[in-house]
Copies of this chain bind each other. A is one copy, B any other.
Amino acid sequence: MPSRKILQLPDEKTLASARKHFEVFLKKQELKMTSQRVEILQRVAGMDRHFNADEILEAFRRKKSKPSKATIYRTLNLLAECDILEEHNIKQESSVVYEFAWGRDHHDHMICLSCGTILEFVDEAIETRQDEVCEEKGFHPTFHSQKIYGICSVCWDEKGVRSV
C-alpha cells in the first residue's frame, strides 16, 4: 500500500462537519444551500495548501458544469465569514489567499521571500504575551495575523540565497 499521503482528498469527517456548520450558518440568515456552494466547499476542503479564487476556478477545470467566477468569489466570502476559511493578505501576492481552517488549530506563518513557501508555526509564549499586551491596552482581540518574512532553510542552505 502507498505510504504517501494523498493530499487532494478531503478528510470525510472534517468535510461533513464543515458542511453541517455551513448549513446552519446559511439557515440562520435565510440563505440557501445550493449545489455550487456544496461543490466549492468540497474543493476548498481538498486544498492542502494556501490558495486563491483562481485556483478554485481551476479546480473545476475538468467538470462540464462549473460555478461562475462570480459565484466562487461570493462563496469564498461566505465561507470566510463563517470561519471555514481563513483569509490572508500576503505581501507580494496580488490576490487574497485562503486557507481551509475548519478543524485545524490556530497557527502563524513564515513566508519565504525567495521561493514563496509558507511555513506554519505555533508558539504558546507569543500567544500568551499577545493577550497580555491587549489586556494592558484595554484592547479586545478578535483574531490576529502574524507573518514573518525571510529566507527559508531550503533556500538558505541549499540554494545559498542570502537576500532578495
Beta-carbon contact of B121 and A137 below 8 Å: yes
In the assembled complex, the CB of A8 is this many whole angstroms from the nearest CB of chain B, namely 26
CB closest chain-B residue, reference A121: B133
A91–B96 Cα distance when bound, in Å, is 10
Residues of B within 8 A of A144 (CB): 146-149
* A156 within 8 A of partner (CB): yes
Interface residues on A, range: 35 or more
Identify which of B91, B142, B145, B153 contacts A146 (C-beta below 8 A).
B145
* A9 within 8 A of partner (CB): no
Task: Take A87-B91, A90-B89, A134-B150 as given contacts and tell me if A140 and B126 are in contact as well, using a CB distance cutoff of 8 Å.
Answer: no
Interface residue ranges of A98-126 to B (CB < 8 Å): 110, 112-113, 119, 121, 123, 125-126
27 A-B contacts, Cβ less than 8 Å apart?
A: A89-B89, A89-B90, A89-B91, A110-B134, A110-B139, A112-B139, A119-B137, A125-B125, A125-B129, A126-B133, A130-B148, A134-B150, A138-B153, A138-B156, A139-B151, A139-B152, A140-B150, A140-B151, A140-B152, A140-B156, A141-B148, A142-B149, A142-B151, A142-B163, A143-B149, A145-B146, A146-B146
Identify the A interface with B (CB < 8 A).
87, 89-91, 110, 112-113, 119, 121, 123, 125-126, 129-130, 133-134, 137-153, 156-157, 163-164
